[in-house]
Structure 1
Amino acid sequence: MPLVRPPTQQSTSSSSVTAQTNGLPIFKPCPRSNFVAGHNDWLAVTSPKPFLDFDICPDCYNTSFHNTRYQACISPSPAKLENVGTKCDFSERWIRNAFAWLFIQCQPDLNLMGEVASIQRDEDGVCPNFNFEDPEVKKGGRPAVKRTWYCLQDPKTGTLVEELTACSDCVEHIKLIFPCLKSIFAPVADGQKLLATCDMMTIGDGEARCLEYFDSLASVAQATLETGTRDITPLIEYIKTWAPVPICQKGNAVAGQKRYSLPTTIPEFTACEECYLKHIAPNLAMSPPPIIVSQLQYDMPATGAGFMCDLFSPRLQQYWKDAALTNDVATYRQKLIARNNKMQEINLQLGRMKQEYQQLKMQSEMHIQQCRIEQMRATTANMAWMSTGWIGPPIDWGATNAQMSRGGEFAIKAAMTLDKMTALEKEWADYWE
């Protein structure tokens, strides 16, 4: 994407400021969330004061800052050293949370982002969920670590809301972004270091839930600023309602959790507890409730038995909405059966292609390795002639070139297979998932 250069300072009332300034900021996945070298199109916050060591990639700038009141705060960065990697600081979750809040509050500058970027951490360090070297984090999970933990404290009873546990790093970020919410968290066990996991910021399948927690915090902060009175009761109720509910695994097998199903009418249908509460339970308030809802059953599958949620995607949720509105159970079942059949078909194809890809890669690497051996043989033979003082025949690169050619052929076939796999995955995501 070509870099859209920030214009000179202008009034926030300018007609070039789009409707983005009237609502929520726009975010997209950052293409430079990991360190990369070789780019000289980085941007930096320079007004009203520069942020030290804070880099923004052009994609994030164009998505979130261009044509907003904050575009004049950002300028191109000086050129980076050629071999030094740089990552986009705007890809970090707490930075984006800070930007969302200052955007909603129509703050005049980006200083809050700079404060969050330079936050001083205590001896426990960064949130364990952002330790990307941890095997559990790599799987999208939450590692258990021994450190000081915090819970919300109910001001009415003085008790801790133990359904949600937050690390000191997340608590400090919340206090910095929402000063009006200071002291709503209290240390667990008088600050003793205990083994636990952080529920506030999670990557993977749990990220959506964490953003919902942040939205609840923001709602309480907004109400506090508007009324001058802090009431965290809605936040506590939200946490007590949702924190105990397992997070939807979004297409992955679920085991050991409550399962909702329609065994008599649509045996192909299963849903997790979170999706039941979000997408099915509201139907109970309809008058009369849809017939399909009255046929639901729930149970705990036997140990080792798993299921997949059929409500995790917008497409599946729309299937359910249509069935609930029309009571057309037969059509709903046909859609689920067709989707399940397609999933099995694509999984079989992907499994075969993956095996084929691995074999082609191995064959390519084998021929490339053999190419190096043949190259060494030819070079050694030539050096042997030279050591005698005689002029030997020209180096015979025939065997070397043959192995290189074969390695290239298999590499091309592997790349073509990988392209087919990508196309198949895209077909599933675009038309079936």
Structure 2
Amino acid sequence: MPLVRPPPLPPRPYSESATPQTKQPPALGLCKRSNFTQGHNDWLQIKSPRAIPNFDICPDCYNTSFRNTRYGSFISAGPAKPAKMSVVCDFSFLWVRLAYMWLFQMGQPDLSLLGEISSIDPDRDGICPNFNMEDPVVKNGGRPEVIRTWYCLQDPKTGSLIEEMTACSFCVAHINVLFPCLKRIFAPIANGQRLLATCDLMTQGNGQQRCIEIVDQMAAVAQSTLETKTRDITPLIDFVKKWGPIPACQQGTLVSGQKQYSFPSAVPEFTACEECYLRHIEPLYSQSPQPAILAQLEEQEAKSGGFLCDLFSPRLQSYFTDASRTNDISTFRQKLMARNNKMQEIEIQLRRMKQEIQQLKAQERMHRNQMIVAQSQARIRSTQWAVSGWSAPPIDWGITNVEMAKANEKAMQAAILQDSMTDLENEWIRYWK
């Protein structure tokens, strides 16, 4: 039966002059309270048209994502938290942010969907393994292998499972709440048997952008389904089949065990990963005339030692685009070599600064320990005077103060070096990355 869009709730009145509206979803900035924290009394909550009491929003996320939108008036200050209660910003979670983008896109009248998404309880298998921040694989941006029930997209035309992507029950539950018209597009693998696999639908680190793109494809199918009242997941299946087997670009970190693309004779310093090749190089083959630079491009199997991708950033992509347009290989190589030299120079400086900071902090700890010892000795001497019955002279804090001053000096030197590291990293991002 064709799916029918449910009737929307009546919109809540608001003042156009008091709350300027935007048609496009706002940019979602980084949340500064994505980890549990204490001591903040400025938490906000969704109060209208129905209160969501356990959904906390930090002021930064409110100002960045809700203020000056049609939903800004639905949010107001929440009740004060107990002093020792640890709280995390619920809007820092990726599923919640995806839900907000979807309801904004669909023009939903309120923020009820955020409460529904945040209140999803995991089944017996637990949360998505990619959200277990205690797992060392997750900390490194990877996907841990876990034994549980897994799901794949099911091709409605053939009934076969699309094995290029596996998803956990926790992520499937979120998709079902986020896009009700897409329920049952996933089917359990091996009739629900618990198997060892990874969740490809929601990944931290470098693979997160790919996951967002998959959800975007689902959103497009959901929107089409609601508009046409007919569900066709073929575009989603095609996207997953194409990109599911492709490793995500490591974006400046070492790539090992993967094929690479390079110009071994013309620009031996250049290498590109498979994802960046498909995104930025393969489309050039359909141009007419075809860029001459492509004639020198070679696909190579994985080599020992790995490589760094030279197409992950907009700056590097612009270098390659210019070379493709002008066939000026020499200038392209000069820019790439200058960037690589700068990268090595900055890495050496950062390593040196990091070592100096560690040494300064060690010296700070040493002086603070000596300060504690001197403080204890001064008190002991004062006590001995008191026990002896003689009138005790004032406690001599001279050595204690000297050690404290030395510790503070080392701490200040470390802080100055840390600021210099930050400036150097920002210089790399702004001018070279």
With structure 1 as the length reference, what TM-score do the two structures score?
0.95
Q: Which residue of 1 aligns with 2:335?
A: 335
Residues 309, 18 of structure 1: alpha-carbon distance in 2 compared, 3 angstrom cutoff: farther
| Residue pair 1:254, 1:307 contacting (<8 A) in 2 also | yes
Residue 19 of structure 1 deviates from its aligned partner by 6.0
Map Cα deviations across residues 384-432 of structure 1 (whole Å, 9 max, x no partner): 1111121122211111111111111111111111111111111001100
Q: What is the identity, as a one-letter code, of the residue corresponding to 2:289?
A: P
Q: Which residue of 2 aligns with 1:378?
A: 378
Residue 39 of structure 1 deviates from its aligned partner by 1.6
Matching of residue 53 in structure 1 with residue 54 in structure 2: yes
Residues 325, 12 of structure 1: alpha-carbon distance in 2 compared, 3 angstrom cutoff: farther
How far apart in 2 are the matches of 1:142 and 1:309? 21
CA RMSD of aligned residues (A): 1.4
How far apart in 2 are the matches of 1:305 and 1:399? 53
Q: What is the identity, as a one-letter code, of the residue corresponding to 2:131?
A: F
How far apart in 1 are the matches of 2:420 and 2:72? 41
With structure 2 as the length reference, what TM-score do the two structures score?
0.95
Residue 368 of structure 1 deviates from its aligned partner by 0.5
Matched residue SS, 1:142: coil
Map Cα deviations across residues 90-147 of structure 1 (whole Å, 9 max, x no partner): 0101111111111111010111111111113211111111111111111111111111
Matched residue SS, 1:69: coil
Matched residue SS, 2:32: coil
| Residue pair 1:171, 1:185 contacting (<8 A) in 2 also | yes
How far apart in 2 are the matches of 1:267 and 1:15? 59
Q: What is the identity, as a one-letter code, of the residue corresponding to 1:420?
A: S
Matched residue SS, 1:307: coil
Q: Which residue of 1 aligns with 2:218?
A: 217
Q: Which residue of 2 aligns with 1:136?
A: 137
| Residue pair 1:55, 1:88 contacting (<8 A) in 2 also | yes
Residue 15 of structure 1 deviates from its aligned partner by 5.3
State how 1:411-422 maps to structure 2 within 5 Å: 411-422=411-422
| Residue pair 2:46, 2:75 contacting (<8 A) in 1 also | yes
Q: What is the identity, as a one-letter code, of the residue corresponding to 2:248?
A: I
Q: Which residue of 1 aligns with 2:246?
A: 245
Q: What is the identity, as a one-letter code, of the residue corresponding to 1:249?
A: Q
Q: Which residue of 1 aligns with 2:428?
A: 428
Q: Which residue of 2 aligns with 1:391?
A: 391
Matched residue SS, 2:149: strand
| Residue pair 1:10, 1:72 contacting (<8 A) in 2 also | no
| Residue pair 1:128, 1:142 contacting (<8 A) in 2 also | yes
Matching of residue 107 in structure 1 with residue 108 in structure 2: yes
How far apart in 2 are the matches of 1:159 and 1:386? 88
Q: What is the identity, as a one-letter code, of the residue corresponding to 2:66?
A: F
Q: Which residue of 2 aligns with 1:265?
A: 266
How far apart in 2 are the matches of 1:23 and 1:415? 41
Q: Which runs of 5+ in 2 are unaligned?
A: 1-10
Residue 11 of structure 1 deviates from its aligned partner by 4.1
Q: Which runs of 5+ in 1 are unaligned?
A: 1-8
| Residue pair 1:265, 1:329 contacting (<8 A) in 2 also | yes
| Residue pair 2:270, 2:336 contacting (<8 A) in 1 also | yes
How far apart in 2 are the matches of 1:247 and 1:175? 26
How far apart in 2 are the matches of 1:291 and 1:203? 38
How far apart in 2 are the matches of 1:53 and 1:174? 21
How far apart in 1 are the matches of 2:346 and 2:323? 26
Matching of residue 351 in structure 1 with residue 351 in structure 2: yes
Alignment coverage as a number of residue pairs: 423
Q: What is the identity, as a one-letter code, of the residue corresponding to 2:290?
A: P
Map Cα deviations across residues 263-321 of structure 1 (whole Å, 9 max, x no partner): 1111111000000000111111110111112210011133x321000011111111111
Work out the percentage of aligned pairs sharing the same amino acid: 58
How far apart in 2 are the matches of 1:356 and 1:68? 47
| Residue pair 1:25, 1:103 contacting (<8 A) in 2 also | no
